[in-house]
A and B are shown apart, each in its own frame.
Chain A
Amino acid sequence: MSKRIEVKDLNVYYGKFKAVEDATMVIEPRAVTAFIGPSGCGKSTFLRTLNRMHEVIPGAYVEGKVLLDGADLYGADVDPVLVRRQVGMVFQRPNPFPTMSIGDNVIAGMRLNNKRLGKAEADAIIESSLRGANLWEEVKNRLDKPGSSLSGGQQQRLCIARAIAMQPDVLLMDEPCSALDPISTLAIEDLIQQLKESYTIVIVTHNMQQAARVSDTTAFFNIAGTGSPGRLIEVGPTEKIFSTPDDQATEDYITGRFG
């Protein structure tokens, strides 16, 4: 289920603009890795290269390697569609499909993979995924209601349920709590702690307390100035990054002396 990601000498371009330069790191399985850094430093872009979602933007491409348990995601014969079925993603703002019920939202991805999903099988996946996302008790009596009838925090957990229904190897989270209130944020953070038992989790966050609370490893990205590419400055155990980072820029950012 859970796989190790190795990134080697990765450059990300949007057309001629180099967004991320020369990133190399290892993301461990069954752990939470947090990406922190100022806005525009390329951490979201970098996250998206881990399931090839950056390719949605015209002109975006990468150089370098991303290995998922040794298999290159950017190999010549690799289908990005299949990569995304292995590497799930949760977005900044909750985005359940508004035209689908809660239940259908959970199995939306499964329906793409397996057209002949039986009713019993579907119900089982819906329940286990919603339980996995700590949402089952709140919605079990209204699975046929639209996903948009839930609160923001519930919608975000629904999106997590939708992602884990696919049984991905990796779960990417792009600022999953930035649109949520503190209580919903706490619910998601608790959930992340449970999910890391079975998944490789990568989370981008602007909230440094959140990174300190939920992650095992922290990567700090920085940017020299507008127009210059983002760089991976430092990766390390979260405790070390937040107490005795190697790089001065990291320390400045974490202590708030920066930006």
Chain B
Amino acid sequence: MTDTTTAPPVATGPTVPPPQRPKRRLGDVIFSRLSSGSGFLILIILAAVAAFLLVQAFPALVSSPEVLKTKGYGEFWSWVLPFAFGTVWSSLWALILAVPVSIGIALFITHYAPRRLARTLGYIIDLLAAVPSVVFGLWGTMTLAPATQPVYQWLNTYLGFIPLFGGEASGTGRTLLTAAIVLAVMILPIITSLCREVFLQTPRLHEEAALALGATRWETIKLAVLPYGRAGTVAAVMLGLGRALGETMAVAMVLSGNQVINFRLLTSDNPNTVAAMIAQNFPEASGIRINELIAAGLVLFVITLIINSIARLIISRYSEFSGAN
């Protein structure tokens, strides 16, 4: 190759040497194909689900309210709205209950607990994630609801002037708040263990910087741990929210939901969630009713998508200050 630079190029031959292709090794090829294949697979699955929802929901979305009415369900959007509300409302309360506790447990495990206790606690939290949702549903209806009913009664009697606690308290305890508590317990493990991982990632250097400035342990957490883990914490909360939005069995068992929009937490007149409603109605559905239920599923899909996009937006707004740069 070296003498091509000194000798004049041969007129007939190519003047530019062909670009050297890096040698492709078999292992590299297989691995890169496998990993990019997995990447595409998830896109294909998502597209297939979205396509299924769109195609199957289409008839219900375009059919006139009259057609739906003849089946006795009324116009689609006004029909689905209460369920969408119920989904968001119950998940919101689940988050309000679960997030502070999860972050608290994660901080306790990472920064306060003695090592052995922290490890045990970590196992227990992960175990909680392995309990099937039908068990949580049973626990919610049979134990939690009766146990919390007196508390609801008390809240209703003494704090009933707050609209949230107003109305007539449920006699069974199977209220939206009970459903939210069950959901909170279900999403607690995932939020906790992700937050724990995130908080453990805080560079020791940042924590020492805070300590050296005379920060107490709590101030160190405020200065170094929480800001550093902000994006990860938001992601953990969003995963928990995703689970709460889609949770079917536990809600269906705890809540005797109706097609209402009711902000009150303690009454027996509760909005059902989209997922629970679909599960309860699907077995007897036929014809356009099936399309209608799938359209409700599409609404749930869109709600989840919107909430996730908002979370992404929140994370990217702080990316310059994220500590990743």
Contact = CB atoms under 8 A, between A and B. Distances in A.
Given A95-B205, A99-B228, A56 B219 contact: no
Contacts of B208: 53, 56, 91, 95
Given A81-B215, A91-B205, A99-B318, 6 more contacts: A53-B208, A82-B214, A98-B227, A99-B322, A108-B223, A112-B223
B224 A97 contact: yes
A149 B323 CA distance: 10
Interface string A91-103: 1010111111100
Contacts of B264: none
A109 interface: yes
B210 to A, nearest CB: 8
A159 interface: yes
Contacts of A51: 212
18 contacts: A81-B215, A84-B213, A85-B213, A88-B212, A91-B209, A91-B212, A95-B208, A97-B206, A97-B209, A97-B223, A98-B228, A99-B323, A148-B325, A162-B209, A162-B213, A163-B213, A166-B213, A166-B214
A39 interface: no
Nearest to B115: A58
Interface in A44-99: 51, 53, 56, 81-85, 88-89, 91, 93, 95-99
A242 B39 CA distance: 62
Contact of B321 (A91, A95, A99): A99
Contacts of B213: 84-85, 88, 108-109, 112, 162-163, 166
Interface in B189-222: 203, 205-216, 219
Given A81-B215, A84-B214, A100-B227, A95 B325 contact: no
A132 interface: no
Contact of B323 (A85, A98, A101): A98
Interface of A: 51, 53, 56, 81-85, 88-89, 91, 93, 95-101, 108-109, 112-113, 146, 148-149, 159, 162-163, 166
Contacts of A98: 206, 227-228, 321-325
Contacts of A95: 203, 205-206, 208-209
Interface string B281-325: 000000000000000000000000000000000000010111111
B319 to A, nearest CB: 10
A230 B214 CA distance: 28
Nearest to A82: B214
Contacts of A82: 214
A53 B321 contact: no
A163 B214 CA distance: 10
Contact of B212 (A53, A96, A148): A53
